[in-house]
Amino acid sequence: MLLELKSIRRLIIRDDKATAAKYISEYIISRIKSFGPTPQKPFVLGLPTGSSPEGVYKNLVAAHKNGEVSFRNVVTFNMDEYVGIPREHPESYHSFMYHHFFSHVDVDPANINILNGNAEDLEEECIAYEEKIKRAGGIELFLGGIGPDGHIAFNEPGSSLRSRTRVKTLAYETIMANSRFFGNDLSKVPKMALTVGVQTVLDAREVVIIITGAHKALALQKCIEQGVNHMWTLSALQMHPYAMCVVDEDATLELQVKTVKYFKSIEQVATSQGFGQALPSEELVLKKRDSVLEKLDSPRSPTANSFLAPARPELVRAVTPDLVPDSMHERLPSPAEKSMPLDGLEAKEVPLLAMHERVDSMVA
């Protein structure tokens, strides 16, 4: 029971990286098909870059070429982009996405959204990106990967779990890790990036994370078996009702044996009963979004905070009457009051008994 209260909703364990990627690609395809996107109601998909999702993109491209799925009515939002390198640079995330995915499927270029790391006003670019996501109706499914330190996108250790799309200075460890894409030359690695925030990811209706390799095992353990911690930003998914991590066996090396057995047994039972990833109904989601927008649009009053709310009428006390000071002699009983019987009974003298008489009465 402890694991259910303090864990990612679903942990899917596969033998290796290839089968983990296969599971995710098939899951995304099934979600797009069940959603039934149209030009008026597109499927909004959040996408990552890096080595983790490469297998997923390869499978999605193959499925598209086989006629299994169309991305014509899919709107995409990428997680991040470097600051200061041209879009055409081979290591820009624009280049990565077109090389691995966009150029091979039927997605409409007008539906592709990637942060512009060369914008004149980077902060304004980030604000506009959040607004684009809102206008698109929010992200239906956010696919992501993590780093060895558990970061999502460029939300590195110490990032606020309420953060939004913003300019981010990269940690030295991240620069070192990314140097392999720049000929191991640290001077060529960008030092800043634009990234969606942790809260931006949490706002998605569903989040799916791929985690593979023994070098990410500690991050998975921290985020699955321990509590929410801004030093391991993946752990924020514990607060998401529809989060799923798909991992390979190597990524589970730091997990307790009982944790692995627990999640494997949950999947086995769910599969035998024909259960899938439960999702809220579309009407419920739309109502929730409308209510949130209404709250955002309505002006806040000074008493909007529950601690400042006025008292309810039935709980308001009556006005306390004025107290009239008296003197001490008025509080003392009068001689007539002293002679009055106690509790309506006549006062009478009680004879004193000698000690031996008391003992005899107790023995009797």
Which residue among the candidates 81, 125, 140, 149 is catalytic per the annotation? 149
Cβ contact 230:15 at 8 Å: no
Helix (H) or strand (E) holding 167: strand 166-169
Structure token pair of residue 268: 């086995």
- Distance CA(159)–CA(182), nearest Å, equals 26
Is residue 206 annotated as part of the catalytic site, yes or no? no
- Distance CA(37)–CA(73), nearest Å, equals 6
**Which residue is it, tokens 């679903």?**
10
Which residue among the candidates 125, 156, 203, 248 is catalytic per the annotation? 156
Is residue 64 annotated as part of the catalytic site, yes or no? no
Is residue 151 annotated as part of the catalytic site, yes or no? yes
Is residue 80 annotated as part of the catalytic site, yes or no? yes
Structure token pair of residue 71: 């991305």
Q: How big is the CA angle at 96 (ends 220 and 30), to the nearest 5 degrees?
A: 60
Give, to the nearest 10 degrees, the angle between helix 54-65 and helix 93-100: 40
Which residue among the candidates 151, 203, 240, 248 is catalytic per the annotation? 151
Helix (H) or strand (E) holding 313: none
Which residue among the candidates 64, 80, 125, 203 is catalytic per the annotation? 80
3-state secondary structure of 18: helix
**What are the catalytic residues?**
80, 149, 151, 156
